Amino acid sequence: MSELIHASHNIEPAHDHILPVKTYLKVYVALMVLLVATVGAAFVNIEPFNFALTMVIAIAKAVMILLIFMHVR
Partner 1 sequence: VITIEHEHASEHGHGHLAHHFEDLGQQHESANLGMWTFLATEVMFFGGLFAGFAVYRFNDPTAFATACRQLDIWRGTLNTAVLLTSSLTMALAVRAGQEGHAKHQVLYLLLTMFLATTFLGIKATEYYSEYKEHLVPGPSFSTEALQIPAGSTPLVIKQTELFFVFYFFMTGLHAFHMVIGIGMMIWMALLARRGAFTRAYHTPLELTGLYWHFVDLVWVFLFPLLYLIDLHHK
Q: Residues interacting with partner 1, by CB under 8 A?
A: 2, 8-14, 16, 18-19, 21, 24-25, 27-28, 31-32, 35, 38-39, 42-43, 45, 47, 50-51, 54-55, 57-58, 61-62, 65-66, 68-70
Asked whether 42 and 54 are in contact (CB, 8 A), the reply is yes
Minimum Å gap between C-beta 13 and partner 1 is: 4
- Cα angle 41, 47, 53 (rounded to 5 degrees) comes to 45
**Of the two residues 70 and 73, which places its CB atom closer to partner 1 in the complex?**
70
Which among 21, 15, 11 is positioned nearest to 69, based on CA atoms?
21
